[in-house]
Structure 1
Amino acid sequence: MKFKTRKEGFYQMLTLFFCLFVIGTLIIGFRSDIFLSDILVIMGSFVLIVALMSLLVAYTYYRIENGFFFYRSGFLSGKIAIERIREIVVGKTLWAGNKPAMASKGLIIKYDKYEELYISPYTNEQFVTEILKHKPDIKIVRY
């Protein structure tokens, strides 16, 4: 089963900011004595940033199949055997570490002895219900 990520306004606002910055740079550049080559370098940099952020937004998802949990967020991807998952913390945010997520108050998946992964599926409860079908003895902690 595939799960889309929940997206908060921060990423949309950041993308909007960079787009407005590129437009503002164009307007100011054409009205002043800034060289066209300088404008193109600035615009190219910001267009690249917006493209990478859009890639991150478009390619963040999670999948459960064949006894594995797969995650992907832009260039970050991996898989965890569901049998290795020992605990899922619901409704808390992990501020450091491995975070293929785009929203707060998601799920912290604890596996092996000390490993943690933070994800933000569109609905936390649907993800928890689906993963418990594969391994019902996972400890669920809710905040």
Structure 2
Amino acid sequence: MKFKSRKDIPFKLFTIISISALIALETYTFLTDKYSFGITDIVILLIIPILLWIYFGTYYKLTASNLEYTSGPMKGSIPVTKIKEIMVGKTMLSGLKPATAKKGLIIKYDIYNEIYITPKAKDFFIKRILEINPDIKITPYDF
């Protein structure tokens, strides 16, 4: 089952402002008399599709045995049987974060590994993952 990522306002604003600024910069340099296509233009023209890829291509998939995550170019898979705990409503500041919002789910697996995700249907996601592995500890975060 596929779960789309929730996008909060700061993420949406960051994406829109970044892409708008890059397009404005490219347009301005193109319209000036001294324009020449260079490495900076290539970098800018690569950043825009990557930002759009992350914005539209962040999702999570639960299969019978794995939690698969995709966020633009970042992809991976975690066996559901290795998940020990899910912390609900907390934001992880560092680490693996294929997410597009705050107050999501921190999934702890193996011994010390963690991943931060933000499925739109958080409660339904938890219900489905518990059907696969009922031994997962759910910890609400009230801070």
TM-score (norm 1): 0.86
> Aligned equivalents of 2:107 and 2:128: distance in 1?
14
Is the CA contact 1:108–1:118 (under 8 Å) kept in the aligned structure 2?
A: yes
Match in the other structure for 2:36: 37
Query: Alignment RMSD, CA only?
Result: 2.0
Counterparts of 1:1-143 in structure 2 under 5 Å? 1-21=1-21, 22-23=23-24, 26-27=27-28, 30=31, 35-37=34-36, 44-143=42-141
Consecutive unaligned residues of structure 2, counting only runs of 5 or more, are none
- Deviation (angstroms), 1:28: 7.3
Bigger shift: residues 12-21 or 2-11: 12-21
> Aligned equivalents of 2:11 and 2:75: distance in 1?
20
- The one-letter code matched in structure 2 to 1:122 is K
Is the CA contact 2:85–2:108 (under 8 Å) kept in the aligned structure 1?
A: yes
Is the CA contact 1:15–1:50 (under 8 Å) kept in the aligned structure 2?
A: no
Aligned residue pairs, count:
140
- Deviation (angstroms), 1:24: 5.6
Is the CA contact 1:25–1:43 (under 8 Å) kept in the aligned structure 2?
A: yes
- The one-letter code matched in structure 2 to 1:26 is T
Q: Deviations over 1:68-105 (max 9, x none)?
A: 11111111111111111110000001110011111110
- Deviation (angstroms), 1:2: 0.6
> Aligned equivalents of 1:12 and 1:44: distance in 2?
24
The structure-2 alpha-carbon separation of the partners of 1:15 and 1:46, relative to structure 1 and needing over 3 Å to count, comes to: farther
The structure-2 alpha-carbon separation of the partners of 1:43 and 1:82, relative to structure 1 and needing over 3 Å to count, comes to: same
- The one-letter code matched in structure 1 to 2:36 is S
Q: Which has the larger radius of gyration?
A: 1
Q: Deviations over 1:35-81 (max 9, x none)?
A: 1216x765554332221100111211111112111111111111111
TM-score (norm 2): 0.86
